Structure 1
Amino acid sequence: MSFIWATRGHTWGFRFLRDGGCTNPLQVYDEAFAGVGDEPEVWQRVAGKGALRFPDPLGRKDRAGRVIPHEFVVLGPLADEVESVEDARRLVWPQVADVFTQVWDKPEPPSGGK
């Protein structure tokens, strides 16, 4: 499954940790999240992409005390199959949980990748 993943860490700000193989992940992200608002949990399907947002499942917080959100743009056929935040979280979070555990409290963000 291909997806874009944006989040923040304990000390570093919002970054793309996965670019989904997109040359311009910000544009794809902006298109998918257009009109979503600031709800803490979101699943919205737009033009074959899914915008997914949920708070960190372990309740991790940044240095300002805010719960860290995870935002994904789910790409490809899976986006058409998912019907809810719960469906998407169940499929996506296991693919990034270990990576986030390793990087969320590092002083510098990791570079984005596929």
Structure 2
Amino acid sequence: MNLIWATRGLTWGFRFLLDGGFTDPLPQYEAAFSGTGDDSEICYRTGERVALRFPDPLARKDAAGRVIPHEFVVFGHLVEQIQSLEDGRHIIWNQPGVADQFEKIWDSPHPPPAHGS
């Protein structure tokens, strides 16, 4: 599974937690979200990938009081399973290393380094 994940924590800013195996995930991320707008919830399919954006499922907020967003670019076999925002939220949030990892790090003073998936 290839997965790019960008989010922010309680005190740390927006960053990549998963890089999808790319040395620089930013071009893939920008291409996937290009033209999607600023809506808080997005499920946008382009070719062989899906861009997902949704608020934190547990409504966790950053230090400024904003609900934390999660943005994913999904590649590979999971793409075909995602037909809606709800599909994407359920499938991706329940992948090993996503919800449980965020639970452990969201309120830490420093985010972990990004790693491949």
Identify unmatched segments of 5+ residues in structure 2. Answer: none
The range that moved more, 66-75 or 41-50, is 41-50
- Whether 2:87 is the aligned partner of 1:66: answer no
TM-aligned CA deviation for residue 14 of structure 1: 0.1
Q: How many percent identity over aligned positions?
A: 59
What corresponds to 1:104 in structure 2?
Answer: 106
Q: Extract structure 1 runs of 4+ deviating beyond 3 A.
A: none
- Residue pair 1:12, 1:109 contacting (<8 A) in 2 also: yes
Taking structure 2 as the reference length, what is the TM-score of the superposition?
Answer: 0.94
* Matched position secondary structure for 1:30: helix
Further displaced range: 4-13 or 88-97: 88-97
> Could you give the per-residue CA deviations for residues 51-106 of structure 1, whole angstroms, max 9, x where no partner exists?
00000000000000000000000011322331111111111101200100000000
Q: Which runs of 5+ in 1 are unaligned?
A: none
Tell me the matched-pair count: 114
Matches within 5 A, 1:6-17: 6-17=6-17
Structure 1 counterpart of 2:83: 83
Normalising by structure 1, we get a TM-score of: 0.96
Structural RMSD (CA): 0.9
**Residues 45, 80 of structure 1: 8 Å contact kept:** no
* Contact 1:7–1:70 (CA under 8 A) maintained in structure 2: yes
